[in-house]
Amino acid sequence: MSRKYTGHFHAYIPGPTNIPPRILNAAHVPTEDMRSPTFPELTLPLFEDLKKIFKTKDGQVFIFPSSGTGAWESAITNTMSPGDKVLIYRFGQFSLLWVDMFERLGLDVDVRDVDWGTGTPPEDVEATLKADSNHEYKVVCVTQNETATGVSSDVAAVRKAIDAAGHPTMLFVDGVSSIASIDFRMDEWGVDCAISGSQKGFMLPAGVGLVCASQKALEAHKSASLPRCYFSWEDMMKTNKDGYFPYTPPTTMLHALRASIDMLMEEGLDNVFARHHRIAEGVRRAVKDGWGLKLCAKEEKWESDTVSAIVVPEDKDAKEVIATAYNKYHLSLGAGLTQVAGKVFRIGHLGDFNELMLASAIVGAEMAMLDNGFDIKPGSGIAAASEYWRNN
């Protein structure tokens, strides 16, 4: 029997994230006609302003009623043909799922398994592509932020590796838990397909999948022969140019997306990224300096600014920490997935967050660990985090 509680329930999973009242209010609109002559007044500016979030001038944005998984499928099926070769590195649950999708769609997938706690290795990308004299690889994939392990990969370094190899491959980036939270530069980094979802840095409910395609990807679309229907770019382009959709769009979510973009642009993207880094660093100080624990990310260069995966001692079970936090302190923490199940718990810190909100996650996690016999000093985590936040 679930325990009743008063006050605010604290969700610190790495998505879906907290939804600000301004966005909730924006979505609170009556039914409207998505074929009306005024509907493009909402949609056309959305397409243009989303390009500012992706940091592209020439890219084309697609808005699908789906999760980020639908955006993945759209990017793949609209640019590739059966048997095309893909280079991808597997180091977490979401890169694993991306591999699974490529395989199920009939692609020739070269999967490189690297340690969970690290990310895409640019040096291996360069060496692999240099050896590919026949240019068989059509796509290189990078999960910019792997939420299962709290690891971020360096997309710019991967682009440099592709260029150093002189290879014509396209670069795909999974930005579901990074775009609108961690710096992303589509044009500067030569990204050909970037995908994201509404429920992370955009601070919306789940239900909108976002794709941004480069001109190179749009050219590849012309000859791609994988089957597609619902996620067809061609269908979207025919109607999006006039501000409409080929099927019923999620109109209330589009209003919410309008409010989300406005909030991001008002704060300023550089300030958004700086806020995420500052809050994340406070959490990391709590983990390392306060509790004396380790992150799943094996080196500082891999540490994510949107989620921290905390490794528990070998004689402890992270599932017990998560259960105690939920049942006793009304706090949701992220669970470890597949290879790290029971070994880590995760604190999400992306979207609509500030220092005092994360303070509750740190205190709640600390109490749950103490209740499960962890050898940590009460108050040590929040002391380390607050000292960092006060001085930064």
Instruction: Kindly list the structural domains of the chain, giving each domain's residue range(s) and its CATH number in brackets, ordered by start.
Output: 10-17+269-391 (3.90.1150.10), 21-266 (3.40.640.10)
Nearest Cα residue to 280 out of 344, 330, 346: 346
E-only strand ranges, 296-385? 307-311, 331-335, 344-348
DSSP 31-87: ---TTSTTTHHHHHHHHHHHHHHHT-SS-EEEEESS-HHHHHHHHHHTT--TT-EEE
What pLDDT, on a 0 to 100 scale, did the predictor assign at position 5? 64
Mean pLDDT of 290-313: 97
pLDDT above 90 for 1: no
- Per-residue pLDDT, averaged over 72-83, amounts to 97
Cα separations (Å) of 269 from 132, 212, 249, 283, 346?
A: 38, 18, 27, 21, 25
Of 369, 242, 241, 384, which is closest to residue 312 (Cα–Cα)?
Answer: 369
Mean pLDDT, residues 35-56: 98
pLDDT on residue 4: 63
Give the pLDDT confidence score for residue 162 in this predicted structure: 98
Q: What is the pLDDT of residue 3?
A: 58
Confidence check: pLDDT of 283 > 60: yes
What was the pLDDT predicted at 235? 97
For the cut 70, the answer to whether the pLDDT of residue 116 exceeds it is yes
In degrees to the nearest 10, what's the CA dihedral of 146, 152, 153, 154?
150
Section 20-29 average pLDDT: 96
What number of CA atoms fall less than 13 Å from residue 161's CA on the CB side? 20
- Give residue 7's pLDDT: 86
Q: What does the pLDDT read at residue 347?
A: 98
336 pLDDT tier (thresholds 50, 70, 90): confident
Closest CA to 137 of 173, 187, 86, 175: 86
330 by DSSP, 3-state: which? coil
Mean pLDDT of 246-272: 97
Whether the pLDDT of residue 2 is over 90: the answer is: no
Q: What sign does the dihedral 366-371-377-378 (CA atoms) show?
A: positive
Whether residue 246 has a cis bond before it, omega within 30° of 0: no
